[in-house]
Amino acid sequence: MNFHKNPLLLEELHLLWVQMSLRLVLVSLRIPKVDQGVSVVAGCGITNLTHIFRYISLTLLVICICLLPGSNPKLPGSTQMLIIWLTCSAFCCWVVGRLSEWRGPRTHEKAVWALAVLISVFGWLVTAFPSAMVERMTGAVLGLDRSPWLAFGTVDQAASVQGMISVTNALMLLLMALDFGLERSCRVAIALAVSTAGFITAAAGLCIHSSADLVALWKVPHVPSSVFGLFWYHGNTASFLNLSWPVGVWLCLKLLRNGLRSFKQQIMLSLLLVAVMVQIIGVCVNVSKMGHLLLVLELLLLVGGGLFAWKPDMSMLPFGRWRFATLIGIGAGLLVAGAWLSGAAEGLERWNVFAQRRFDDPARRHSTLMALKIGLDYGATGTGPGTFEWVSKHYTALDPVLKGGHWRHAHNDYAEFFAEWGWPGAAFFILLLLFPFRRWIRALRQVFAPTPRKSEMSFHRRTGLICLSAGVISILVHSLVDFPLQIDAIRHLFAVVMGLVLALTSSSASRSASSGSGSRPLHPELVPWR
């Protein structure tokens, strides 16, 4: 059957996949019962109410993640506004659940909570006091007649409001994922949602790739060659997929470690393997050169790091090592064949063109320097979140390399972040490296420590830290030459995965000890992995 000539059938298949995935995720989540160890007398019903609000919050969070591939505002029927409302609703339910049990931030949450508050307060403060306004037709920046102490903020309030809504939503997702990541069923549900979002993205890009199909999907007269499925820019698609497919690998390893005792587990493993392979093929077919490099980097990290960190657990596999190696070889062969038959040769042609330019891209270099210049000129507060597109017009006119194009982003997230947030933004980034990332690095050092220290961490935590860290590292590296963190779908997915990574840095032993000091016992459904 030719899917390209029947877009309605393709849309129905995608909808069916989302429905099946949501049903699989939601059925695995059960509202805790009162007779399973929760004392009604001690909690007076508050504990049950807490679990209900957390269940609603997690359900909305899972649906939000599954809808991320369709969040591009240019896409007809975009889910952008729906995601905003779902995130806010999920966060409100999560806050009510936390307040109902009077539970403050844990040790691994304190720095993240503090940074989230600092970033939100500063961003909205700058947005609330505009210093200028952009004239949309000409791009001219018109100064406002205000007192100097008021005119210190964003260059354009309309653009900054949209930017801060996106940043605030991402911070909400980060805090919720950081909390839910400590609970077994919640962690698996979020990981399944991430894999589902990645599969939808890859399947859409592989099935809808002809010009006629893309024009029909995007409802525009002309679609540039950079469009890949549901993303307007192929580099963003590669970033999204490189962030999502390692999460599926983690779930596959978890199922293998548990032994595949039931037919349901075997079917689940098969579906996850198909989803992971489709996402990897999607990266190969995508013409993003950096996406290809990071795919190879992630595979090397998972294979090299995995063999070192998981060697003591190889004996627990449901089959022998040689059979496992044979299965991996067969899977690699299928990946290569699938990628080549799906059109990966076009990516090789782009590499040849890039090699003829001596692997240099002057336009990207100049755009990064331009962003740094903007940051130095507006160092106190930055130009404001989401304003780079308008401010850059006045700098590109002075650069002979850039003046012929329209630069919405700087092709370097760090330079663009500095331009829009100024020195305070740079300070927030340094704090992010010093506090939460310090726990992350310490946990990774334990993963690759000698066997006695390594055995202190469970197999599930070790595999999760390696797989999810590979995806996070791919985004951080890709941000040096592109703008993945400026796209809502990638920014939100990165916040979710980063929340899971930071949650895995905290052992359940420390949490059980802190919880044990209270009078209320932990519910069995909410006890995290050891």
Confidence grade of residue 528 (pLDDT, cut at 50, 70, 90): very low
Return d(Cα 45, Cα 60) in angstroms, integer. 23
Q: Where are the domains of the chain?
A: 107-505
How far is Cα of residue 322 from the mean position of the Cα atoms in its chain?
Answer: 35
Return d(Cα 466, Cα 460) in angstroms, integer. 10
pLDDT at 285 over 80: yes
Please say whether the beta carbons of 503 and 253 come within 8 A: no
Tokens describing residue 221 = 């007269």
Interaxial angle between packed helices 459-478 and 289-300, expressed in degrees from 0 to 180 and rounded to the nearest 10: 160
Confidence grade of residue 138 (pLDDT, cut at 50, 70, 90): confident
Return d(Cα 105, Cα 108) in angstroms, integer. 8
Question: What is the pLDDT at residue 462?
Answer: 86
Please say whether the beta carbons of 87 and 172 come within 8 A: yes
Kindly report each contact of residues 45-52 with a partner whose C-beta sits within 8 Å and lies 24 or more positions away, as own/partner. 46/100, 46/101, 47/101, 47/520, 47/523, 49/100, 50/97, 50/100, 50/101, 51/97, 51/523, 51/526
Question: What are residue 143's DSSP bridge partners?
Answer: 132
Between residues 39 and 119, the one the model is more confident about: 119
Q: Give kind and range of the element (H or E) at residue 134.
A: strand 132-134
pLDDT digit string (tens) for 172-216?
Answer: 999 999 999 988 889 999 999 999 999 999 999 888 877 888 888
Please say whether the beta carbons of 243 and 497 come within 8 A: yes
Instruction: List % helix, strand, coil for the chain (3-state, nearest 5).
Output: 70, 0, 30
pLDDT digit string (tens) for 152-175?
Answer: 788 888 899 999 999 999 999 999
pLDDT digit string (tens) for 363-402?
Answer: 888 889 999 999 998 888 889 999 998 888 888 877 777 7
Exposure b/e, 243-253, CB count within 10 A at least 16 = b = bbbbbbbbbbb
Between residues 325 and 474, the one the model is more confident about: 474
Question: What is the pLDDT at residue 450?
Answer: 72
pLDDT digit string (tens) for 64-85?
Answer: 999 999 999 888 889 999 999 9
What predicted TM-score, i.e. pTM, was given to this entire model?
0.84
Q: How many CB atoms within 10 Å of residue 226?
A: 14
Please state, rounded to an integer, the average pLDDT across all residues of the chain: 79
Question: What is the pLDDT at residue 380?
Answer: 84
CA dist 64 → 162, 190, 527 (Å): 18, 10, 25
